[in-house]
Amino acid sequence: MPNPVPPYPHPSGARPPAIPKQFVPRHVAVVMDGNGRWANARGLPRTEGHRAGEASLLDVVAGAIEIGVEHVSAYAFSTENWSRSPDEVRFLMGFNRDVLRRRRDLMHSWGVRVRWAGRRPRLWRSVIAELEEAERLTKDNTTCTLTMCVNYGGRAEIADAAQAIAREVAAGRLKPERVNEKTFARYLDEPDMPDVDLFLRSSGEQRTSNFLLWQAAYAELVFLDEPWPDVDRRHLWRAVETYARRDRRYGGAVDRPGASPQS
């Protein structure tokens, strides 16, 4: 899209902090946790928490654009979520489909490229159709990439990649000794997805829950106490400020004799 419009401002008038571009994470992974607990605490069914979380996702994407994050990956439905009640699974399938239908034009106007990562089996055909239509409509956008992870699991993605590589080896198209990390990454759901820099989870839980395991190997983890429906772009910005203060060494270290443990 040649001339994307800027996202709507936050109602408070808040603006993103001034952080040098080199300290802004390129890729933020988001676990949108706490919808059900947020609803139950208000005497509402769990599904109402999912409805309330839609606005939070939009606002976080808006905030990502404003601060310069290039990739946002949202954990919308995991391979483990099929174990929830049939009513909640049906709601989530229909809800994800309808969110894409309702919001794809807005995302397109912001210059957001929408992509899908996840498995096809078991996923409703109508959900796949909306995901593919959103991908088609926004494929040339460059402001930010929103990857909707629907029927996604990190272990499932790695297992599927291993299967594909095994087929290539069995067919004689790939030598086993040529399989390294770079080769393996080419068989993931989105081979050109950059590694996760900032892994953000809401609602106080402190685990990764099988999300982007390969891509988040060296991610900085930030956990929010607020449930997802109470999260907005200001929470993202604070997480980015935390990220900017972290010392990312990727296994390396600098020898500083005499330095205090806190320095």
Residue 168 has a pLDDT of 97
- Distance CA(224)–CA(108), nearest Å, equals 29
pLDDT-based confidence at residue 263 (cuts at 50, 70, 90): very low
Averaged over 213-241, what is the pLDDT? 98
| Residues 75-106 pLDDT 10s | 999 999 999 999 999 999 999 999 999 999 99
103-159: pLDDT as tens digits: 999 999 999 999 999 999 999 999 999 999 999 999 999 999 999 999 999 999 999
Q: pLDDT (tens digit, 9 = 90+) per residue, 182-202?
A: 999 999 999 999 999 999 999
Active site residues: 33, 81
Q: Identify the band that residue 253 occupies on the pLDDT scale cut at 50, 70 and 90.
A: low
Q: Is the dihedral of CA 262, 243, 212, 227 positive or negative?
A: positive
Token pair recorded at residue 210: 């099988």
> What does the pLDDT read at residue 74?
98
What is the residue-averaged pLDDT of the chain? 94
pLDDT score of 114: 97
The pLDDT value given to residue 258: 63
Sign of CA dihedral 101, 103, 107, 108: positive
Answer whether residue 262 shows pLDDT above 70. Answer: no
Region 150-178: mean pLDDT is: 97
Q: Which region holds residue 82: left if phi is over 0, alpha if psi is between -120 and 50, else beta? A: alpha
